[in-house]
Structure 1
Amino acid sequence: FFSGKHVQCEPVSGGLQVSGRWEFSSGSDSASWVMVGVGPPGVIGLVPRANYRVLDTWFASGLCGSGSNDIVVEDAFIPTHRLLDMNRAGLDDHTAWELHGRRTYRLPLRVLLAWDLVAPLLGIARGMLDAFVERARTAPQAVQSDVIQLRFAESSAEIDAAHVVFRHTIDALLEKGERGEHFSDEERARVGRDRAFVVRLCIQAVNRLFDVSGGHALFLSEPLQRCHRDAHAVSHRAGLMLEAVGPPYGRAALLS
C-alpha cells in the first residue's frame, strides 16, 4: 500500500488533497481506517472508511483469508496530523512515545515493519508440521522410511530454530526500546537479516515436508497444500528475501 497507482497529492492548507489506488490492503473488508502512501517516499496517510472504497480484487493463490484488496481514494483531505513519515518515526519523531509511553514507539518504525507477516508464517510452518504428523498416522508404512523420518527431523529443527531467532530478535528490540537506545546501521541491518532468515528457515521446512507428502496433499481439502501456498505467499514480500536484505548486513559488518 506504500506506493499506489495514479496517486495525486496536492498540498493544501492544513494537509493534503489525495486521490489514487493502492493494492495489498490486508483486512480491508473489516477495517474502519486504512494507511496509504502519499507524497514523498515513506510518508503514509491515515484515511477513514467514509473516504475510500474497497475493490474486491484479492483472488490470490495464498493468504486468501487476508482480504488484501485494493483501496480507492477520490479527492480526500488528509490533515497534517494524520500523516506519518516512516523514515523519522521512532528516530527524531517521538510523538507516539510522548503520547502513549509504549516501548515499541521508541523503536525506529522501519525495524518493526514486516514482522506482522513473519509471526503468522511461524504458525503456518508449525501447522504444516502438525498436518504432516496427522497424515503420517494414516500411512504407517510410509513413516517407516528413513527419508520421511529425516525430512521430518530436519523440518522440525528448522521451525524450532526459526522460533528461537524470532523470539530472540523481538526480545532484543523491545529491551532496546525500553532503554531508549540508538540503533546503529549494523544493528538495523541485523534486524532485517534475522527477519529474512526466519522466513528462509520456515520455507525450507515447509518445502521439505510438502515434497514427500504425496499426491493426496494436492487436494484443496488438504491443509498441507494450503500451508505450502500460504507460506510462499508470505515469502514473496521483497523485504523478507535474504538475497535482498542480507548484503546490507554483510556490508555494515565487514566494511564499517
Structure 2
Amino acid sequence: LIDSGILATLTPKEYGGLELGLDVAAEIVRTISAACPSTGWVTSFYIGAAWRVNIFTEQAQREVFADKPYTLTAGTAAPLGQVQKVDGGYRITGQTAWNSGSVHAEWFTFAGVVFEEGSAPTPLWFLVPREDVKILDTWYIAGMSGTGSNDISVDDVFVPDYRTGPFALALAGTAPGQLIHPNPMYHLPFLPFAMAEVTPVVVGALRGAADAFVQRTRDRQGTISQEKASGKQAAQMRLGRALAAADAADTLLDAFFERLTAQRPEQSDPRDRAEMKLKAAYLADLARNALNDMVRGIGGDGYRSSAPIQRFFRDLSVLSVHAFLDIDTASETIGRFTLDLPVADPLL
C-alpha cells in the first residue's frame, strides 16, 4: 500500500500529496474491499488520516507530513479517560478502544474532555505519537479481524497545545486547521467524512461476496444427490438477488458521494448529517441482508475457513453493527428529527 502511493490520495498538495477527490479514495477502497474488507478498512483509515490530521494546527500538520506525503495514523472518536490542563498543553491518562490500523500506526488520534473549574466541559481531539502510546493486544473478534483495531492506553502523557484540535468545530468542519486549506473537501464536517470512509468498504465487501457466491454456485455439488447447485432454480434466484443487491449498493454509494461533494460544507446542519449517516447505515443493512440470503444457499462447505464467502459473511456482520453504521440508531435519530424531538447524538 505504501509503495503504490495511494495513501497520499487525500493529502494536501502543500504537503506533497495528491489531493484527489473523495470519490477517488472511495473507488480505491471499494476495489480493495472486494478482495479483503479488513485491508480495505485499514486503507480507508490511512488515506482518511490525511484529512483528519487537518483538524489540528498547521504546526501539527507539518510535523506529521515532515518526511513523507502520507500518514499511518490510527484513532477513534471514543473519549479517553482523564485529561488535565497544564502549562503549554495537557496531561492525559486512560484507555480507549477501536483503534483501527494500530499495528502499523505512527500516530494516534482520540478524543478527551477537559474539565476546568468554572468552565463548561470542553471536548478536544488529541494527536499523540506512537512512542507515547501502549498498544494492547485486545483485537480478537469474529469479523474484520485483520484491521488491528486494538485498545490503546496512555499514562500521564504530555500533549502540547498545538497537537490538540477543537472537537466541536471539527464536527462542523470549521476547525482552524481545516480552514487553512482552500479545497472545500477539507472543510467537511467530521461525521459526513467518516461516513465517506466506511461506506465504500461495505459496498466493496458486498461485491466481493456476490462474486464469491457466483463461484460457489458454479462449483457446488450436492454431497448425496451429486446434483450441481447451478442447475437449481432456488440457487439461480438467490444468485440473481445477490447481484441485484450489489448493483443497488454501487448505485446508492455513487449517489451518496454525488450529494457529499456537491453540497457546500457550510450548508450542512445536524439534520443533514443525520441523513447522511442513515444513508450509510441503510447501505450496511442492505449488504448484511443480501449476504444473509446468500449464505443460506452455500452449503456446509461454504463455512470452511478456506471459503471466501464465510469471511465476507463474518466481516459484513461485524461492519453492519459499527457505531457509524447501525441502522437502528441512525433510523431513530431521523425519526426524532422528523417528530421534532430532542436528538442527543454527540457527533452531529
| TM-score w.r.t. length of structure 1 | 0.90
**Letter of the structure 1 residue corresponding to residue 253 of structure 2:** F
Paired position in structure 1 for 2:92:
18
CA distance, structure 2, for counterparts of residue 201 and residue 92 of structure 1: 29
Give the match for residue 117 of structure 1. Answer: 198
Q: 2-side partners of 1:233 and 1:69: how far apart?
A: 15
**Amino acid corresponding to residue 297 of structure 2 in structure 1:** V
Q: Do the aligned residues in 2 keep the contact of 1:97 with 1:103 (CA within 8 Å)? A: no
Q: Distance in 2 between matches of 1:43 and 1:137?
A: 53
Say yes or no: does 1:28 pair with 2:115: no
Q: CA distance change for structure 1 residues 184 and 35 in 2, over 3 Å: closer, same or farther?
A: closer
**For residues 167 and 240 of structure 2, what CA distance do their matches in structure 1 show?**
41
Residue 217 of structure 1 aligns with an amino acid whose one-letter code is: G
Paired residues in the alignment total 253
Structure 1 residue 81: Cα displacement? 2.2
Contact 2:173 2:187 in 1 (8 A): no
Partner of 2:144: 63
Q: Which of 14, 35, 51 is equivalent to 2:132?
A: 51
Offset, 1:245: 0.9
Amino acid at match of 1:197: Y
For residues 218-243 of structure 1, the C-alpha deviation after alignment (integer angstroms, 9 at most, x for no partner) is: 11111111000001111121331221
Once residues 233 and 168 of structure 2 are traced to their aligned partners in structure 1, the CA distance between those partners, rounded to angstroms, is 51
- Quick check: 2:174–2:189 contact (8 Å CA) kept in 1? no
Letter in 2 for 1:15: G
Q: Partners in 2 of 1:77 and 1:246 — Cα distance?
A: 40
> Any residues of structure 2 matched to 1:177-256 within 5 Å, and which?
177=264, 180-253=265-338, 255=340
Q: Counterpart in 1 of 2:77? A: 2
Shift of the alpha carbon at 1:41?
A: 7.5
Q: C-alpha distance in 1, partners of 2:102/2:328? A: 30
Identity of aligned residues (%): 29
* Amino acid of the structure 1 residue aligned with 2:163: R
Partners of 1:41 and 1:215 in 2: CA distance: 53
* Change over 3 Å in CA distance of 1:175–1:97 after alignment to 2: farther
User: RMSD of the TM alignment (CA)?
Assistant: 2.1
Task: Provide the secondary structure at the position in 1 that maps to 2:162.
Answer: helix
Asked if 2 retains the 8 angstrom alpha-carbon contact of 1:2 and 1:42, the reply is no
Asked if structure 1 preserves the Cα contact closer than 8 Å seen for 2:206 and 2:246, the reply is yes
Q: Do the aligned partners of 1:36 and 1:46 also contact (CA within 8 Å) in 2?
A: yes
- What secondary structure, in the 3-state scheme, does the structure 2 residue paired with 1:44 have? strand
In structure 2, distance between residues paired with 1:120 and 1:51: 30
Where structure 2 has 5 or more consecutive residues not aligned to the other structure, the ranges are 1-75, 114-120, 222-227, 342-348
CA displacement at 1:93 relative to structure 2: 2.5
Query: Unpaired runs of 5+ in structure 1?
Result: none
